[in-house]
A = this chain, B = another copy of it.
Amino acid sequence: MTKSKTTVTMMDVARNAGVSIATVSRVINGQPGVSSGAAERVRAAISTLGYETSLVASSLRRSRKNVLGLVAHSFESYTAEILKGVMDALGGSGLDLIVYAAGDSYGTESHGWEQRQVTLLSGTLADGCLVVAPWTDVRNRAPVVAIDPVRGSRMHAVMADNFAGSVVAVEHLLALGHRRIGLIGGRVTLAAAWSREEGYRHALDQAGIDIDETLIGRGDFHPDTAVAPANALLDLAEPPTAIFAASDGMALKVLEVARARGLDVPGDLSIVGFDNIPESALSNPPLTTVDQSVRRLGYEAARLLMSLVIHPAHDIHQVLVPTELVVRGSTGPPRTS
């Protein structure tokens, strides 16, 4: 303890074990070509000195890092679910995850933000990167997979099968006997919103029902943005007997609006949402909705990224995760008039 060093380095271990740092490195990385005696001494030195390898130094030298990166705008529940799914996929793979979150709050809303974050992680720390709901496509030398990409994205991506989900939701309402079905869509620059609206139109089309554009309102997925279109729909001379909202947050808001207006759900109005967030099961009545397992999205995205890290692909991989209709109390047959 003559020198007061601030960190225990590989050099210290080497000295303590009486070998070179190359040998220490080999032992740590489990590489062949070390006598068992030397390996033993190195291991002993490591535990005596409490040595821990430097992630940064080894990342700088190594090309394969065995770490995946993730970039997200916030840690609200959607991202939290994604993270859980990613961890499910990583379990036991030998890969770790590093999440980098920039402290400056506004930077987050600027255009190049995700690109910067991805470069930061991929260049140096991670073998590839996951981007959650990016505002724009992102590129990198290392593979990048988007979860919920923008509309028309040309990146590797994972998203829910929004189109099929909407079709099933609307078909459910049709089967109950509804003919005037309103839609409250989301921001159409997002692929998800677009596909959900497409599904709505497609299902009505298939049923031979003409699309009535006055029955289509638009929010931006956030609950509050559903209030105005919901009221507009219900103020119609001939209001819809059912409303399909493109997110559960918005659907629950529609439910509130309906009750405030003295409407019985589902007696006077059936309501279907999309997402199956936990609150949907707890509303009164509980919400019929389309389940998209966000956790599963994270899982599939991590799997895809892992495979791309091993076999880089120049064609674009996009995977659609199935959705499923969950029928609960907020839908029923229309009042027979």
Which residues of chain A have a CB within 8 Å of any CB of chain B?
6-7, 52, 54-57, 59-60, 74-77, 79-80, 83-84, 87, 90-105, 116, 119-121, 123-125, 141, 278-279, 282
Instruction: Point out the residues of chain B lying under 8 angstroms from A77, CB to CB.
Output: 77, 80
Instruction: Point out the residues of chain B lying under 8 angstroms from A6, CB to CB.
Output: 141
* CB pair B99 A103 closer than 8 Å: no
Known: A95-B103, A98-B100, A105-B92. A123 touches B282 (CB 8 A): no
Instruction: Point out the residues of chain B lying under 8 angstroms from A93, CB to CB.
Output: 103
Top 5 nearest A-B pairs (CB, nearest first) are A90-B103, A80-B80, A56-B124, A91-B105, A99-B99
Contacting residue for A116 out of B52, B54, B75, B100, CB 8 A? B52
Q: Is the interface of A mostly helix, strand, loop or mixed?
A: mixed
* CB pair B87 A80 closer than 8 Å: no
Tell me, rounded to whole Å, the shortest Cβ–Cβ distance linking A99 to chain B: 4
Instruction: Point out the residues of chain B lying under 8 angstroms from A56, CB to CB.
Output: 56, 59-60, 123-125
CA A52 to CA B120, docked complex, whole Å: 7
Instruction: Point out the residues of chain B lying under 8 angstroms from A92, CB to CB.
Output: 103-105
* CB pair A84 B94 closer than 8 Å: no
Name the CB-closest residue of B to A9. Answer: B123
Instruction: Point out the residues of chain B lying under 8 angstroms from A119, CB to CB.
Output: 52
Q: Contacts A57-B124, A98-B100 given; 12 further ones with Cβ under 8 A?
A: A6-B141, A52-B120, A54-B60, A55-B120, A55-B125, A75-B84, A80-B83, A83-B101, A87-B101, A93-B103, A94-B103, A96-B100
* CB pair A83 B75 closer than 8 Å: yes
CA A191 to CA B125, docked complex, whole Å: 36
Tell me, rounded to whole Å, the shortest Cβ–Cβ distance linking A210 to chain B: 40
29 residue pairs A–B, Cβ–Cβ below 8 Å: A7-B123, A54-B124, A55-B120, A55-B123, A55-B124, A55-B125, A56-B60, A56-B123, A56-B125, A57-B124, A60-B60, A74-B87, A75-B84, A77-B80, A83-B101, A87-B101, A87-B105, A90-B101, A91-B105, A92-B103, A94-B103, A94-B104, A97-B99, A98-B98, A98-B99, A98-B100, A98-B101, A99-B100, A99-B101
Tell me, rounded to whole Å, the shortest Cβ–Cβ distance linking A268 to chain B: 23
Instruction: Point out the residues of chain B lying under 8 angstroms from A94, CB to CB.
Output: 103-104
Instruction: Point out the residues of chain B lying under 8 angstroms from A95, CB to CB.
Output: 103
Known: A77-B80, A125-B56. A96 touches B103 (CB 8 A): yes
Tell me, rounded to whole Å, the shortest Cβ–Cβ distance linking A28 to chain B: 13
* CB pair B123 A52 closer than 8 Å: yes
CA A260 to CA B97, docked complex, whole Å: 43
Name the CB-closest residue of B to A141. Answer: B6
* CB pair B60 A57 closer than 8 Å: yes
